[in-house]
Amino acid sequence: MPEIFPQDPKRKPAVAPQLRRLLILQFKLYIDAFRDICLSVLSLGAFLIDVFQGNEGSDCYFDDVMKLGRRTERAINLFDQVDPATQEEPSVDSLLRKAEDQWPR
């Protein structure tokens, strides 16, 4: 019986690049989940402080938490929305690149 999907014996599957992408995504997902938990607590605290102090506008701690959330979103770059070459701030991508450069081959 002929094979439905014949395999080329010379062709090797490119597992390493796909595995690398999977591991990076998993790492970023864990960082993002930890960030979400932290931002949830911070936003609740900032809201309560703003309510008790009557803060509004630029004096609002809640807005500061939102700005922090946007900065960390760019730094994590979970779904590659930001080109790593154009990122000015330290990012997860730049840290991973440095770690990979140090990794013995």
pLDDT given at position 37 = 97
pTM confidence score = 0.74
d(CA 26, CA 20): 10
Q: Under 8 Å CB-to-CB from 92, ≥6 apart: which residues?
A: 27, 28, 31, 75, 76, 77
- For 13, 73, 75, 91, 100, the CA distances from 86, given in Å and listed in that order, are 32, 15, 12, 11, 19
Each residue's pLDDT tens digit in the chain (105 positions)? 455 555 565 666 666 888 888 999 999 999 999 999 999 999 999 999 999 999 988 889 999 999 999 999 998 988 888 887 777 778 888 888 888 888 776
Amino acid at 24: I
d(CA 39, CA 76): 14
For the beta carbon of residue 29, count every other beta carbon within 10 angstroms: 12
Q: What is the largest CA-CA distance in the chain?
A: 79
